[in-house]
Chains A and B, each alone.
Chain A
Amino acid sequence: MCLGVPGKVLAIDGMNATVDFFGVKKELRLDVVDEPVSVGDYVLNHVGFAIRRIPPDEVGETLAMFDQILKDVAQDDLMAADVIGEMAAGKEKA
């Protein structure tokens, strides 16, 4: 529950953002994020809130790290399961 998963902001409507997390779309709140967020930015999600706007020069490294974690899911990896859980929870309703 303490892992912030990074995602790309697709749309913003007031304090609500639609964010893509490795292909999963979710609604996130922008109330507590540390800096103003624009479409195209990457943010870290924690329980439905963006808690950090990832500085552009750190996006690649952060995404790569999570990409690696997601590959571990087949091995009953707890961290990968947590990330998948965080992505699946509160998914945008179709």
Chain B
Amino acid sequence: MASPAELAQQLKFRDPEKARALAAALQREVDAIGRDEITIMHVCGSHEQSIARFGIRAVLPRQISLIMGPGCPVCVTDAPEIDEGVALAKQGCRVLTYGDMLKVPGTVKSLGDAQADGGKVDIVYGVEQALEIARAHPDEEVVFFSSGFETTAVATAAAILRGLPKNLSVLSAHKYVPPAMEIVAGMPGSKVEAFLAAGHAAIITGCDCFRPMAQKYRMPIVVTGFEPLDVLAAILKTVEMIRHGEHDVANCYPRCVTGPGNLPAQKMLWQVFEPVGGQWRGIAVIPDGNLRLKAEFAAVDARRRFDIDVRSLWDYAPPKLAERCICGEIMAGFKSPKDCALFGKECLPESPVGACMVSSEGTCKIWHQYGGVPDLKEVG
């Protein structure tokens, strides 16, 4: 086999000529549709990274509006969920979480603030590391603040099914994306008429699960990867489907994603979690959008194990700036970061006001990184 470097040379995933050819094909499709505005939403931070970094919006026909929806688990974690983690740290638990979660603002404090206040808050890479830490501190109550979409929830589920150490419990902030796509698509005033679905999350769920939604909302849903040409090819496919009135699912990422997805992983996910309604930060209450541990796992569910006292945290007034944050409207597709008065001024990656400025998968952080507004003229 050729070396990866040689293959990269041959494959030219970022080939500007191919990109231009795709953009030209796109223009032909859009002209054939003959409308002034076509709004496509994607729901993946990695897609936004590619779109912004490679200036994909700059090569799209002007009629296409490509927006990012609720595609970052860090961004959609709601403030009261953070408050629960902060309260547990304050109550003496050792709280473990993914690195990005540390800066996400709670109602008043972040987990990083809780750490600075002397709380035991540690960053972990995954649930396996949480197991190690719990074993290393047998005399402490250790809580894994477990966030992420279905892909990450599966890992937590697998660990729970194997059995956790007695002193380890899980505070689930896991979210399930497909119901959120439906809610955003159905919002009054929403212009979204097609979705690009996240390739790597679909490794677990497969792409067939999007079919009922595609039919109900009469829109194409195209699963794709995160390389610039993957994204462009998927947009072309989406626009072709819009032109032909196809309300179905297309898989533009067959090298990773199958129709049914990873069935053993789905079995574990639904063995441990059940979907419940919950607030996604700034967007809406999403029915079936949160993943809660089933009653049979109550013993390892931090919410049932502890009397989490979040009221003690709310003695302070919430920061004024947060009231002006429009992350929710950005994630629902109604606004862009440049519409936010705080963006790049009071709200920065070092001092985020809203959650979208925290994670490398958040729209605001990505736009900030690549010059604020992604208006690069060159692809490749």
User: Which residues of A line the B interface, CB within 8 A?
Assistant: 1-4, 27, 29, 31-34, 44, 46-49, 51-52, 54-55, 58-68, 71, 76-79, 81-82, 85, 89-90
Instruction: Find out whether the CB atom of A52 lies under 8 angstroms from the CB atom of B203.
Output: yes
A–B Cβ pairs within 8 angstroms, 5 of them: A3-B226, A48-B125, A48-B128, A51-B262, A67-B5
* Min CB gap B376→A, angstroms: 12
- Interface size of B in residues (CB-CB distance below 8 Å): 56
How far, in whole Å, are A4 and B154 apart by their CA atoms in the complex?
A: 14
Instruction: Find out whether the CB atom of A34 lies under 8 angstroms from the CB atom of B369.
Output: no
Instruction: Find out whether the CB atom of B152 lies under 8 angstroms from the CB atom of A34.
Output: no
Instruction: Find out whether the CB atom of B13 lies under 8 angstroms from the CB atom of A34.
Output: no
Q: Taking each of B4, B45, B161, B225, which has the highest tally of chain A beta carbons within 10 Å of its own beta carbon?
A: B4
Q: For B4, what are the chain A residues with a Cβ–Cβ distance below 8 Å?
A: 60, 63-64, 66-67
Instruction: Find out whether the CB atom of B263 lies under 8 angstroms from the CB atom of A34.
Output: yes
How far, in whole Å, are A76 and B371 apart by their CA atoms in the complex?
A: 12
Q: For B14, what are the chain A residues with a Cβ–Cβ distance below 8 Å?
A: 68
Chain B residue at smallest Cβ distance from A51: B203
Assuming the contacts A1-B98, A1-B152, A32-B264, asked whether A51 and B255 have C-beta atoms less than 8 A apart, the reply is: no
Q: Taking each of B50, B126, B148, which has the highest tally of chain A beta carbons within 10 Å of its own beta carbon?
A: B126
* Min CB gap A49→B, angstroms: 4
Q: For A64, what are the chain B residues with a Cβ–Cβ distance below 8 Å?
A: 4-5, 7-8, 10-11, 13
The 8 closest A-B pairs by CB, nearest first: A89-B125, A64-B7, A67-B4, A48-B126, A47-B126, A31-B158, A34-B262, A32-B265
Instruction: Find out whether the CB atom of A2 lies under 8 angstroms from the CB atom of B155.
Output: no
* Min CB gap B284→A, angstroms: 22
Chain A residue at smallest Cβ distance from B128: A48
How far, in whole Å, are A82 and B204 apart by their CA atoms in the complex?
A: 20
Q: For B126, what are the chain A residues with a Cβ–Cβ distance below 8 Å?
A: 47-49, 89-90
